[in-house]
Amino acid sequence: MVKSEIIQISDDLFLKLGKLITERYGIKMSIEKKVMFQSRMQKRLRELNMFSFDEYAGKLLNANGGTEEFSVMADLISTNKTEFFRERAHFDFLTDLVLPQFQKQMPNYRIPQMNIWSAGCSSGQEAYSIAITIEEFIRSSGFNLSFFITATDISTRMLKAAKEAIYPMGQVDDISLDWKRKYFLKSKSLNDQKVRLAKEIRDKVRFAYLNLMDDSYELNVDFNVVFLRNTLIYFEPAVQVKILAKVLDRLVDGGFLFIGHSESLINMNLPIRSIAPSVYVKKI
Ligand SMILES: C[S@@+](CC[C@H](N)C(=O)[O-])C[C@H]1O[C@@H](n2cnc3c(N)ncnc32)[C@H](O)[C@@H]1O
């Protein structure tokens, strides 16, 4: 085989692997995704010195080592698009409503603790945007709040990048100079300009592997706020309902759930009520 030749996968094998991916990770794998799958897997097959998808399926389905290869594959095919302050209205909503309400409800005699979950966090920009928003609120209001963000994903590649918290300079173009100065460090290299989140912001976030398809979620706290945005959109509706039920179990009564602007929870019969576009409150 010539090196540049594309390794092809048959419809049958694609559907078989697709079914396994859907079962394990919830991600829909209809036949329209075959070309995307085939192209994203080329590099991996070559790394493994393999010349056919049949050979790859052998490795994948082999009990020893199969599981590990499954997560490499999931990593390669999942959509990780994200950005700082994506869907900005949600961050304004945190500042204008969620945080002041939390402040009002808390008695003066103790420092309140707010726990936030960024589920399907990709490379971390969402979690860090939440941390900056809360930090800004604390600084401007003087409210003595302690907060912590748990950010989870199935992509070990994305989690590694998220922990490093280093991003191309272009990704912070839309962030004000004041916030850039306060919350980002600039690399010294002139030809490869990068930024890194300041340690005080990095310290507010813990990144961990969590598959939303798991029967139960190993998280050691319940959350006041959950961001589950632009992740469920890749799942079948029945799977979405099951995941939402488990996620809502980890949200405190009266807590807030944020979903992506292009996602919908209509007809799902969940214990929530809508409070703003793509924002919900768990019913008490
Ligand atoms: C498009 S990104 C969304 C990132 C961020 N929430 C945002 O809105 O910008 C979707 C993320 O969901 C993750 N994901 C896909 N299936 C998952 C699963 N079964 N469990 C946990 N995360 C999953 C992907 O790895 C990907 O990083």
Residue ranges of the chain that CATH labels 1.10.155:
11-77
**Residue range 58-76: mean pLDDT, rounded:** 82
Please tell me the predicted confidence (pLDDT) of residue 128: 98
**Rounded to whole angstroms, what are the CA distances from 36 to 8, 17, 31, 80?**
12, 14, 10, 14
Q: How far is the CA of 260 from the centre of ligand 1 (A)?
A: 11
Is pLDDT at 188 greater than 80 in this prediction? no
Pocket of ligand 1 contains residue 230 by CB under 6 Å: yes
Please tell me the predicted confidence (pLDDT) of residue 130: 98
Residue ranges of the chain that CATH labels 3.40.50.150:
89-282
**Residue range 217-232: mean pLDDT, rounded:** 96
Pocket of ligand 1 contains residue 120 by CB under 6 Å: yes
User: How would residue 65 be classed by pLDDT, with cut points 50, 70 and 90?
Assistant: low
Pocket of ligand 1 contains residue 82 by CB under 6 Å: yes
pTM: 0.94
Nearest to 152 by CA among 183, 116, 184: 116
Is pLDDT at 143 greater than 60 in this prediction? yes
Q: How far is the CA of 250 from the centre of ligand 1 (A)?
A: 18
Is pLDDT at 2 greater than 60 in this prediction? no
Pocket of ligand 1 contains residue 22 by CB under 6 Å: no
Bin 112: left if φ > 0, else alpha if -120 < ψ < 50, else beta: beta
Is pLDDT at 105 greater than 90 in this prediction? no
Q: What CATH number labels 11-77?
A: 1.10.155
- pLDDT tens figures, 208-219: 999 999 999 999
Encoding tokens for residue 154? 């199935």
String of DSSP letters for 243-265:
HHHHHHHTEEEEEEEEE-TT---
CATH architecture of 89-282: 3-Layer(aba) Sandwich (3.40)
**Contact between 117 and 227 (Cβ < 8 Å):** yes
**Residue range 234-243: mean pLDDT, rounded:** 92
Q: How far is the CA of 239 from the centre of ligand 1 (A)?
A: 14
Pocket of ligand 1 contains residue 158 by CB under 6 Å: yes
- pLDDT tens figures, 258-272: 999 999 998 899 999
Span between the terminal Cα atoms of the chain, in Å: 63
Whole-number average pLDDT of the chain: 93
Can you tell me which atom of ligand 1 is nearest the CA of 228? 6
Nearest CA, atom 16, ligand 1: 25
Please tell me the predicted confidence (pLDDT) of residue 4: 67
- Mutation probe of ligand 1 site: the residue of 23, 121, 154 with most atoms within 8 A of C-beta: 154
**Residue range 99-109: mean pLDDT, rounded:** 86
